[in-house]
């Protein structure tokens, strides 16, 4: 049986191979900038498309190294690819993995632009 700290599948990934791209959407922008009166310990959250083989601990380490911030929590989602039509045939886009990274409250914000 393998040790729990070892990778279960795939090659060893570098930080730039783990975080593929930020997801700049209306909801993601709202999560990274909106402060609520109800939440006292508000911290920004950012969405990224990540490598499907990456684990939460690898995603946390990669974001901390690439952007110079402190990560509080990582949530992941495996997203199904959408069906698309190409001429007369139906096809499917590839499945992908999404990570929502919440920063520590004292951490600086990430500027994408």
Q: Which domain holds residue 30?
A: 15-60+68-103
Residue 72 pLDDT exceeds 80: yes
| Mean pLDDT in residue range 6-12 | 71
Q: Which of 1-5, 69-73, 100-104 has the lowest mean pLDDT?
A: 1-5
In a domain, 31, yes or no: yes
With beta carbons less than 8 A apart as the criterion, state whether 42 and 105 touch.
Answer: yes
Structure confidence at residue 85 (pLDDT): 93
Structure confidence at residue 43 (pLDDT): 84
CATH number of the domain at 50, please. Answer: 3.30.70.330
**Sorting pLDDT into bands at 50, 70 and 90, what band is 83?**
very high
What are 107's two structure tokens?
Answer: 């951490």
Q: Is residue 70 classed as helix, strand or coil in its secondary structure?
A: coil
In a domain, 42, yes or no: yes
What are 65's two structure tokens?
Answer: 């190294």
Q: Name the domain count of the chain.
A: 1
């Amino acid at each position: 049986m393998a040790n729990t700290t070892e990778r279960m599948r795939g090659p060893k990934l570098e930080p730039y191979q783990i975080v593929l791209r930020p997801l700049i959407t209306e909801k993601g922008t709202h999560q990274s900038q909106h402060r609520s009166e109800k939440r006292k310990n508000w911290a920004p959250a950012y969405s990224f498309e990540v490598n499907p083989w990456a684990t939460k601990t690898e995603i946390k380490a990669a974001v901390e190294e690439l952007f110079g911030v402190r990560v509080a929590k990582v949530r992941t989602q495996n997203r199904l690819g959408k069906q698309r039509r190409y001429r007369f045939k139906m096809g499917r886009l590839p499945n992908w993995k999404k990570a929502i990274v919440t920063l520590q409250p004292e951490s600086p914000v990430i500027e994408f632009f």
